[in-house]
């Protein structure tokens, strides 16, 4: 029984390290941010249609934060691309 526990622990340890190694690329982050911004805009439209002013205000703040995140991710993507070009 102890051998099975040990084997399971080893499998979990290697699965955890491989999960960290597969971080999304900066380009993928920008795409995800664009999709999130699109969802935010659709939510704002729905809240406006429902005449829920508080929800619209909250959604606008979230949209603003998501736009700032996308801007930072774009900058990181550009820097990563620049660093890759300098390596060659």
Measure the CA–CA gap between 10 and 25, rounded to whole angstroms. 28
Report how far apart, in Å, the C-alpha atoms of 59 and of each of 4, 7, 34, 69 are: 50, 48, 15, 15
DSSP 8-state class, residue 22: -
The answer as to whether 10 is a domain residue is: no
**Is the overall model pTM greater than 0.85, yes or no?**
no
Count the domains in the chain: 1
Confidence (pLDDT) at 13: 61
Measure the CA–CA gap between 22 and 45, rounded to whole angstroms. 36
The answer as to whether 67 is a domain residue is: yes
Sign of the dihedral through C-alpha 61, 71, 27, 42: positive
Q: Domain of 46?
A: 24-87
The answer as to whether 41 is a domain residue is: yes
Confidence of residue 34 (pLDDT cuts 50, 70, 90): very high
The answer as to whether 12 is a domain residue is: no
Measure the CA–CA gap between 88 and 2, rounded to whole angstroms. 50
The answer as to whether 72 is a domain residue is: yes
Confidence (pLDDT) at 4: 67
The answer as to whether 2 is a domain residue is: no
């Amino acid at each position: 029984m102890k051998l099975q526990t040990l084997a399971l622990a080893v499998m979990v340890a290697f699965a955890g390290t491989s999960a960290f190694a597969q971080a999304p690329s900066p380009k993928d982050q920008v795409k995800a941010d664009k999709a999130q911004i699109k969802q935010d805009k659709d939510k704002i439209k729905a809240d406006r249609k429902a005449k829920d002013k508080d929800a619209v205000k909250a959604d606008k703040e979230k949209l603003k934060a998501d736009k700032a995140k996308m801007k930072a991710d774009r900058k990181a993507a550009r820097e990563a691309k620049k660093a890759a070009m300098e390596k060659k």
